[in-house]
Amino acid sequence: MRLIFIRHGDPDYEKDSVTEKGEREIELLADKMQRERVKEFYISPLGRAQKTAQATLSRVGRTGKTCGWLKEFTVPVFHPDTGEKHFIWDFMPSFMDRYPLLYSAKGWKSVPFIAESGVPAAYDEVCRGIDGVLREHGYIRCGTFYRAAKPNRDTLVFFCHFGVTGIILSHLFNMPPVALLQHFCAAPTSVTTVYTEEREEGIAAFRCASFGDVSHLYIADEPPAFSGRFCETYDNFDERH
């Protein structure tokens, strides 16, 4: 089985849609996706993901299933230094260094500011959502792997967001989501592809073949959007600090 996770186009957060640049991006994405043979499409309920999905779905004459658990993962914690609300995908390296359990697949939920928030419950909701979809398509969660009850080569596509994609991947890979989200970045309309690996009969694990692919933009000489980027060097204050 192949899972494709697509971040929405360059966002207009105020309108919960995409910008003019985002409009160009989602059409270029549709150029790429219309060639794929897709079993099922799943879509976040948020407008920017719905808009992105529609560009592809209208090309191929298909519809998708809207899933509430695919919405962006904006459940906050209270930052222990400031007391302010903060998202788990945006901590500084020096802060992460103070909480080594954030790098633990089993221990991250026990970090006090995580345990006292709504993050663990929201994380479990997303995990139940993706496991429910996989179960419908023949793969049943069993500890840290999936039982391949009906192994197949189907392709499932998810139009969603960077944060929730990181949450899903952390579950599939048995990794802590906070650490994963600090070290990966996905531009708007980027494509992340994950496959099942069945090296043991009846047992499936997941492997990431590509993360954040924007080749559909480069082919058309369309630069990736800056949204979600970071400061490559500290002295560039035009980039996000």
Q: What is the pLDDT of residue 127?
A: 98
List the pLDDT tens digit at each of the 241 positions of the chain. 999 999 999 999 999 999 999 999 999 999 999 999 999 999 999 999 999 999 999 999 999 999 999 999 999 999 999 999 999 998 999 999 999 999 999 999 999 999 999 999 999 999 999 999 999 999 999 999 999 999 999 999 999 999 999 999 999 999 999 999 999 999 999 999 999 999 999 999 999 999 999 999 999 999 999 766 677 888 877 776 5
Burial 191-206 (b: 16+ CB within 10 A, else e): bbbbbbebeeeeebbb
Closest CA to 120 of 161, 82, 77: 77
In one-letter notation, the amino acid at residue 59 is: R
Q: What is the pLDDT of residue 241?
A: 56
Q: What is the pLDDT of residue 137?
A: 98
The pTM assigned to this predicted structure is 0.96
* Cα 158 to Cα 133: distance, rounded to the nearest angstrom: 11
DSSP-assigned letters across all residues of 93-146: HHHHHH-GGGG-TTTGGGSHHHHTSSHHHHHHHHHHHHHHHHHHTTEEEETTEE
The fold of 2-219 is Rossmann fold (3.40.50)
The domain segmentation of the chain, as residue ranges, is 2-219
Q: What is the pLDDT of residue 8?
A: 98
Question: Any residues with CB less than 8 A from the CB of 157 and at least 6 apart, and which?
Answer: 4, 6, 33, 36, 38, 40, 41, 42, 64
* Cα 15 to Cα 26: distance, rounded to the nearest angstrom: 17
Question: Which tokens go with 152?
Answer: 């197949």
Q: What is the pLDDT of residue 228?
A: 62
Question: Which tokens go with 140?
Answer: 């049943």
Inter-residue contact 145 to 203 (CB < 8 Å) = yes
Closest CA to 85 of 110, 117, 126, 107: 117
Strand, helix or coil for residue 148: strand
